[in-house]
Amino acid sequence: MTAIPPNRISFLANVAIRVFIAEVVDSTYLYLGADNGLLIYNYRTDTYEEPGIDFPTDIRTLVMYDGLLWLGTLNGLYTYHPQTREVSLIRQFTLLSILQTISFTLVPIMAVAAIHPLPDVLK
């Protein structure tokens, strides 16, 4: 990885960055899930590191588990292996899969709500 001072982020030049989530992964790195991908910050050297690979965009959640960084994006679920620098797609989200998920979760909730009306306090 190439170290880049925080005020000289060449691979992010002239880009507004929206960070959604951060994860401290060890005593050196902070991973930031952002709208334009994964940012890797080395807080020991106060530099961002360019990984040299393309990450999925719109990373909304991430967690380090068993040596893998799991990336939840608007387009799917991915894993990133920091040692090998490999990104793998676990599951891609499509409009159909989102609608199926909504129907499997909302229909039972709506059925329960029809049987058990909301208390007056919640109306």
Asked whether the whole model's pTM tops 0.75, one would answer no
Nearest one of 59, 47, 65, 50 to 22, comparing CA atoms: 59
Could you tell me how far CA 12 lies from the centroid of its own chain? 18
How far are the Cα atoms of 60, 109, 113, 122, 123 from residue 118, in angstroms, in the given order?
32, 12, 7, 6, 7
Position 110 scores a pLDDT of: 53
Per-residue pLDDT reduced to its tens digit, 63-79: 888 888 989 888 888 99
How far are the Cα atoms of 62, 76, 89, 106, 114 from residue 59, in angstroms, in the given order?
7, 9, 13, 25, 36
Per-residue pLDDT reduced to its tens digit, 12-56: 555 678 888 888 988 899 999 998 889 999 989 999 888 788 888
pLDDT at residue 9 greater than cutoff 50: no
